[in-house]
Homo-oligomer: A and B are copies of this chain.
Amino acid sequence: MTTKMAINAKDIFRNQHRLIRFIEQSIRLCSNQSLKAAQHQREQKASADFQITAQVDAQYTSAPEPIKHDQNVGHQFRASQLSVRLAAPEQLQMKPDSDEDLGFGRLFTDHMLKIYYHRNLGGWQRPEITPLENLVMHPAAKVLHYAVELFEGMKAYRGVDGKIRIFRPDMNMNRMNLAAQRSGLPTFEGKEFVQCLSRLLSIDSEWVPHTDTASLYIRPTLIGIDPTLGVASSDSALLYTILSPVGSYFKTGSSGAVSLLADPSYVRAWPGGVGNRKMGSNYAPTINVQKEAAAKGLQQVLWLYGEEHQLTEVGTMNIFMFYVNDQGEQELITPPLSGLILPGITRDSILRMTRQWGKFKVTEGNITMPQVCELLNQGRLLELFGAGTACVVSPVNRINYLGQDLYIPTMEQEKPVHELIRETLTDIQYGKVDHPWSVVID
């Protein structure tokens, strides 16, 4: 069946080959030169001589649009209806020392928050705080078969004033509701949920580490629990939250930086998919790839997309590159919200913060691996780092791309931008500066 279609398809295929050949050439050039370039860079010293005060405009607010509930959702829960059942004294666990190696998500606090949804009972039920306990569910629950599940990642920080703060919770609530809509799960009032969550944090407040090198990770989760095997919306759901004191998310190399596996044969997300929603289904397919990275002695996966090998995400983080652009200006660039990447709250905060600084150009645009190679060759790539709630900012010092090592001079800069960003964000989060993004828990 020879159609115009087939001919056009052939054209594209031909171009694809040319692209791949070009990319291969770039890498050969690049891997040979990147180490040299990095050394050269060290000798030259970075030209980042700007001065930035660790502050952002306290007037700035950015509450997202309130979510529109589907009319079939039924009644909403209210924080004023919250019931609390405290753990008995003998149920309370030992709290870990602040200095202990907490790891990530291994220890949990004494209590949890639960809110059931049953369409046939009219909608959302009364919120309840209970001792941390196992969930009981039917073996046909949709969450166990069709990944009808989504979550958020937030943190509670112990401020220098002893107060507990959370960071831009309205952003998490908005993203969680968008994921619920995409998953056929019921939406809810984010503000009411944050009030319930605040109560949970008050009850387990002693679990918020008394240090600014750790925090209490908050995991809101929404799962579909209908005990029926059809692939369909779930008429019953459970919105719950558990809390876990955490240190740093992953072990870095001795340098404090991470190394990445960039293998274009694995793709995290695609147009027409759900890569921009924090749904459980985005994570299971990454586990084996992460194992492959680990087997090669690399710490995280750099997710590429498309024939041009666009950089999309790193591990479970958004990615940022600080470099000297074609006009000779310093520029911070991160991929745009094209549907392929998660709309990170740390990402959004970094963009808003650095744009307000006005000290360098800030861009949302695509970055490709051939560009990374070219910039490395020319000594113009200054820093590469991941950003997310779990890790805040995570510098990258090496990428293994199609079997070749590319050395990134992120840790060689005199006044690294990623450090400044981390300090500014953590100063806000730990209450060292006052800022509307930080919400104090009463």
Q: A5, B368: Cβ atoms under 8 Å?
A: yes
Q: In the complex, which residues of chain B have a beta carbon less than 8 angstroms from the beta carbon of A105?
A: 140, 228-230
**Across the interface, do B140 and A151 meet the contact criterion of CB distance under 8 Å?**
no
Is A135 located at the chain interface by the 8 A CB criterion?
yes
Interfacial chain B residues near A273, Cβ < 8 Å: 267, 270, 285
Complex CA distance for A316 and B146, rounded to whole angstroms: 12
CA–CA, A420 to B9, complex, Å? 36
Say whether A85 faces chain B, with CB atoms less than 8 Å apart.
Answer: no
Contact of A267 among B137, B271, B325 (CB under 8 A): B271
Which single member of B181, B279, B287, B308 contacts A285 (CB below 8 Å)? B279
**Would A145 and B221 count as touching, CB distance under 8 A?**
yes
Contact residues of A between 128 and 166, Cβ < 8 Å to B: 132-141, 143-149, 151
CB pair A5–B308 under 8 Å, yes or no, is: yes
A336 at interface, CB cutoff 8 A:
no
Q: In the complex, A170 Cα to B284 Cα: how many Å?
A: 25
Q: A58 at the A/B interface (Cβ < 8 Å)?
A: no
Are A146 and B283 neighbours in the complex by a CB distance under 8 Å? yes
Q: Check: A358 CB closer than 8 A to any chain B CB.
A: no
Cβ of A402 under 8 Å from chain B? no
Known: A145-B283, A285-B279, A287-B148. A370 touches B3 (CB 8 A): yes
Which chain B positions have C-beta within 8 A of A413?
none
CA distance A108 to B3 in the complex (A): 51
A219–B229 CA distance with the chains assembled, in angstroms: 9
Given contacts A15-B8, A273-B267, whether A232 and B139 have CB atoms under 8 Å apart is no
A8 & B3 in contact (Cβ 8 Å cutoff): no
Q: A291-B184, A308-B9, A370-B5 are in contact. Are A242 and B144 (CB under 8 A)?
A: no
A281 at the interface (CB under 8 A from B): yes
Q: Which residues of chain B are near A140, meaning CB under 8 Å?
A: 105, 108, 219, 242, 244
A148, B138: Cα distance in complex, Å: 17
Is A265 an interface residue, CB under 8 A from the partner?
yes
A3-B370, A184-B287, A217-B229 as given contacts; A135 in contact with B136, CB under 8 Å = yes
Give a binary string over A109-134; 1 marks a CB under 8 Å from any B CB, 0 the rest: 00010000000000000000000111
Instruction: Tell me the residues in window 161-188 of chain A with beta carbons closer than 8 Å to chain B beta carbons.
Output: 181-184
A284, B144: Cα distance in complex, Å: 11
**By CB atoms of chain B within 10 A, which of A242, A281, A288 has the most?**
A281
- Categorize the interface residue count of chain A: 35 or more
Assess the A287–B146 pair: CB atoms within 8 A: yes
Q: Which residues of A211-249 have CB atoms within 8 Å of chain B's CB atoms? A: 217, 219, 221, 223, 227-233, 240, 242, 244
CA distance A232 to B138 in the complex (A): 25
Interface residues of A in 251-287 (CB under 8 A from B): 264-267, 270-274, 279-287
| Chain B residue contacts of A60, Cβ below 8 A | none
CA of A231 to CA of B294, assembled, Å: 13
**Whole-angstrom distance from the CB of A238 to the nearest CB of chain B?**
9
A-B contact pairs, 29 of them (CB 8 A): A1-B325, A1-B326, A3-B370, A3-B374, A5-B308, A8-B15, A9-B19, A9-B307, A12-B16, A12-B307, A105-B140, A134-B137, A134-B138, A135-B141, A136-B136, A137-B137, A140-B242, A145-B280, A146-B283, A147-B284, A229-B244, A231-B286, A231-B290, A233-B287, A264-B272, A279-B285, A280-B281, A281-B283, A281-B284
Given A112-B139, A144-B149, A146-B283: 19 more A-B contacts, CB < 8 Å: A5-B368, A105-B229, A106-B228, A108-B140, A108-B227, A134-B138, A135-B141, A136-B136, A139-B242, A143-B144, A146-B280, A147-B282, A148-B284, A181-B288, A183-B287, A232-B287, A267-B273, A280-B284, A281-B282
Where the two chains meet, the residues of A that have a C-beta atom closer than 8 Å to any C-beta of B are 1, 3-5, 8-9, 11-12, 15-16, 18-19, 22-23, 104-106, 108, 112, 132-141, 143-149, 151, 181-184, 217, 219, 221, 223, 227-233, 240, 242, 244, 264-267, 270-274, 279-288, 290-291, 307-308, 316, 325-326, 368, 370-371, 374
List the 8 closest A-B pairs by CB distance, nearest first. Answer: A105-B229, A267-B272, A146-B283, A147-B147, A281-B281, A147-B280, A270-B270, A147-B284
